[in-house]
Structure 1
Amino acid sequence: MSENVAFELADTDAEVDNQQTPSAETVLAYLRTHPDLFLEHPEILDHIELPGPPQPVVSLHHWQLRRWRGQALHNRHALDQLHQVAADNAEADRLLHRFCEGLLNATDRSPATLEKQIQADFDIDTCRVVPLADLDGETRKLLAGWLDNPTPFCGRPHDTVRESLFGDTLPQTGSAALIAIPSKASGPARYIVGLGRRLPDGFNPAQGTHFLEQIGELAGAFLGQAASDNDRY
């Protein structure tokens, strides 16, 4: 930014600061000379609190308008939330599409390739894809209850599980999402996909797991194909 532009901005800010809020008399005088202001700009009424009749008199018409206005504000808030959900879903679809493309284009269908693809496509700090058979007995025992009904786990894993899956790539204060990958659609878990974030609430138990389940299904298809390829030889 040049000095001239900086000075011009500074002068503009000074002028804004020096402007005084118009007095009530000035506003009233303007409204008297522009009686059709609210007809030409009805949106102003959305930001004005109109007075009701003096208490204890109750105007049903005024009460009805207040209720309608409250409902309109509630509906606007709900619509904004729906727009945000739609935007989040669109972003999730975009990420999954990119993930699918990466898996389909991979020439080496190995756990290491899956790790790299997940880390490249998603906002995580670390990723591990570990065969369940490679985990020690204590870790498998700690995971046994979860593996009986393996919906994705989100939160702070047990230290033994964290160290077995992530080593020193995930601090003790970090959080993780664990996804069990079966060898077949109805078979026992064959791999554990671990996603880690250094933030304690990066993955938390309150979040939904549908997106993680979709990642798990794609990872399972990828690793299942790799197993089928290996079985041929």
Structure 2
Amino acid sequence: MTIEKVEDSPLTPEAVRNYLRSNPEFFIENSELLNTLKVPHQSGGAISLLEHQVHVLRDRNKEFHTRLDRLLEHARDNDHKFQQTRRFVLSALESQDLAELSDAVERSLYDDFGVEACSLILFSETPIDGCRAERVIDANRYIGTILTSQKAICGEFPANEMNWLFQRNGIRSAAIAPLQQLQLLGVLAVGHSDANFYRSGMGTLFLNYVSEVLQRLIPDLANRGA
């Protein structure tokens, strides 16, 4: 197959491009031309079309391996988080009372997830052995706007709210999940001294999952101790 030049239609680069687009099999039938064609290279020189294709395929192969490595890294990270979450859930389910539950939550968050600060606060009009218990009226006084959220929220919060939640100074950002099942049961919070560590809008899937587990366990364990 050849390109015929019409006398009244001069052969232009655009005409060649259009012909090759319309005849993609051209180089299959004229493969001997591949080694004679030259294309620019990043080095500034010219290489044959076959060499160019080899470079393109090599670059695509590198890109593919980079993407594959990234996917494998995410898979390993997700598997690690799954194992951590599994240990947390099993530990929580084995708790016999609220004190054991509180201890399991803090131990998991500190040891498995490596949080800098965490706080599980249960709402009660009377003290609860082995747990931090606060009256709802007091919680509303300090973190009332946070307790209106239906899901976990992240970001930088006022110092007085952080100090009340964590009972320590220096916590600048936090991820906070109100615990409610028909009524407010408490609040779970993790914090960090870096104001940008827990950013507004970041994912809260894990904290929401943990809070859902706690919301189902707390009423049952509270009834056991009544």
Task: Tell me the secondary structure at the aligned position of residue 198 of structure 2.
Answer: coil
Contact 2:96–2:221 (8 Å) recurs in 1: no
Alignment partners' CA distance in 2, 1:135 and 1:80: 50
Contact 2:146 2:178 in 1 (8 A): no
Mapping for residues 141-180 of structure 1, pairs under 5 Å:
141-143=144-146, 147-148=148-149, 150-168=150-168, 170-172=169-171, 174-180=172-178
* Alignment correspondent of 1:97: 86
CA 1:151/1:136 → structure 2, altered by over 3 Å: closer, same or farther? closer
2:198 is the counterpart of 1:203: yes
More helix by share: 1
Query: Secondary structure of 1:142's match?
Result: helix
Larger strand fraction of residues: 2
The 3-state SS of whatever aligns with 2:189 is strand
Equivalent residues of 1:114, 1:219 under 8 A apart: no
Partner amino acid for 1:162?
Answer: M
Q: Which amino acid aligns with 2:96?
A: T
CA distance in 1, matches of 2:193, 2:45: 59
Q: Is the 8 A contact 2:97 2:224 kept in 1?
A: no
2:106 match: 116
TM-score, normalisation: structure 1: 0.62
SS at match of 1:204: coil
Alpha-carbon shift at residue 104 of structure 1 (Å) = 2.3
**Cα distance change, pair 58–100 in 1 and its aligned pair in 2 (3 A):** same
| Secondary structure at 2:216 match in 1 | helix
Q: Give SS of 1:135's match.
A: helix
Mapped to 2, the partners of 1:226 and 1:108 lie a distance apart of 5
Return the alpha-carbon distance in structure 1 between the equivalents of residues 94 and 153 of structure 2.
29
Tell me what 2:210 maps to.
Answer: 215
State the partner residue of 1:128: 119
Q: CA deviation at 1:160?
A: 2.6
CA distance in structure 1 between the aligned counterparts of 2:217 and 2:104, rounded to whole angstroms: 8
What is the Cα deviation at residue 57 of structure 1?
A: 5.2
2:56 corresponds to which residue? 67
Distance 1:56 1:223, change over 3 A: same
Cα distance in structure 1, aligned partners of 2:201 and 2:185: 26
Kept in 1, the 8 Å contact 2:92–2:104? The answer is yes
Q: Secondary structure at the match of 1:190?
A: strand
Residues in 2 aligned to 1:207 and 1:222: alpha-carbon distance in whole angstroms: 27
Determine the structure 2 residue equivalent to 1:22.
Answer: none
Percent of paired sites with the same residue: 19
The residue that corresponds to 1:181 in the other structure is: 179
- Offset at 1:123? 0.8
Distance apart, 1:105 and its partner CA? 2.4
**2:121 and 2:188 in contact (8 A); partners too:** yes
**Normalized against structure 2, the TM-score is what?**
0.63
Coordinate RMSD, CA, aligned: 3.0
The secondary structure found in structure 2 opposite 1:96 is: helix
In structure 2, distance between residues paired with 1:123 and 1:56: 54
CA drift of 1:109 comes to: 2.5
The answer as to whether partners of 1:103 and 1:117 remain within 8 angstroms in 2 is no
Q: Unaligned stretches of 5+ in structure 1?
A: 1-50
